[in-house]
Amino acid sequence: EPEVTQTPSHQVTQMGQEVILRCVPISNHLYFYWYRQILGQKVEFLVSFYNNEISEKSEIFDDQFSVERPDGSNFTLKIRSTKLEDSAMYFCASSGLGPLHFGNGTRLTVT
Amino acid sequence: DQQVKQNSPSLSVQEGRISILNCDYTNSMFDYFLWYKKYPAEGPTFLISISSIKDKNEDGRFTVFLNKSAKHLSLHIVPSQPGDSAVYFCAASVDGNNRKLIWGLGTSLAVNP
């Protein structure tokens, strides 16, 4: 069965550094998403992406975040200047007309 | 802002018995509800969904019930199996838009052999 794959599985970075989280969505899916889950808290919607542009974003997705689909297969989330509170599991997901399929997540630790 | 609430953080059930996981919501605009299952170190996996025009949806051992007047839904697993042990998330969305999902905190289910 096709899968959403995310790399790396764990990323450690220093506060203020830029990070790029990578995702390869399922190939025939058209919608792409990022969600995050801070330890002990809810899974939270960050952004959805369709037809090469952001279709919806949450209040969390401020100017320090950006997404890109640079080459038709990868879907990336960039955090420009990481803060301690950005430490979380970041889940990429993709979908066609059906439910979302999630990757296994990248655990981001900001020190 | 807890629009979707799963009030039981954990549930323990004997193998072969029924597991009932509950979810309450406050936003009357929600019209599409989903259950996801999550194992440790994996992403959430879609389990079953229901739209607000129905009050029940069944898929094998899994049945979701929706009570719109009570703003309550439940997931029944019968019979429960040890492999069902996971965290179960209830999620909801508006306008049948399954893309922007609002999630509950999850219920950790343990099915004991």
Interface A–B counts its CB contacts (< 8 A) at: 49
Torsion of CA A53, A57, A59, A62, to 10 degrees: -20
Residue B54: predicted pLDDT: 95
CATH number at residue A93: 2.60.40.10
User: Closest to B99 (Cβ–Cβ): which among A33, A102, A103?
Assistant: A33
Q: For the segment B14-71, what is each residue's pLDDT rounded down to a tens digit?
A: 999 999 999 999 999 999 999 999 998 899 999 999 999 999 999 999 999 999 999 9
Residue A72: predicted pLDDT: 79
Question: What does the DSSP assignment read for B4-52?
Answer: EE---SEEEEETTS-EEEEEEE--TTEEEEEEEEE-TTS--EEEEEEET
- When the candidates are 2.60.40.10, 1.25.40.10, 3.90.1150.10, 3.40.50.300, the CATH number that belongs to B4-112 is 2.60.40.10
Residue B48: predicted pLDDT: 96
Question: Where does residue A102 rank: exposed (0-12), middle (13-18), buried (19+ CB within 10 A)?
Answer: buried
Q: What are phi and psi of A85, to 5 degrees?
A: -75, -5
More confident residue, A109 or A99: A109
Q: How many domains does chain A have?
A: 1
Task: Kindly determine whether residue A104 and residue B43, on different chains, have CB atoms separated by under 8 Å.
Answer: yes
Instruction: Give the residue numbers spanning the domain of A47.
Output: 5-110
**Hey, is the C-beta of A26 within 8 angstroms of any chain B C-beta?**
no
Residues of A in contact with B98 (CB under 8 A): 95, 98-100
Residues of A in contact with B103 (CB under 8 A): 42-44
Task: Kindly determine whether residue B99 and residue A91, on different chains, have CB atoms separated by under 8 Å.
Answer: no
Q: What is the DSSP letter of B85?
A: -
Beta carbons within 8 Å of B40's beta carbon, 6+ residues apart:
none
Q: In which region does residue A52 sit, left (phi positive, over 0), alpha (psi from -120 to 50) or beta (all else)?
A: left
Which of B5, B59, B99, B107 should we substitute to test contact with A (largest number of A Cβ atoms within 10 Å)?
Answer: B99
Provide the pLDDT confidence category of residue A79 given band limits of 50, 70 and 90: very high
Q: For the segment B74-107, what is each residue's pLDDT rounded down to a tens digit?
A: 999 999 999 999 999 999 998 766 678 899 999 9
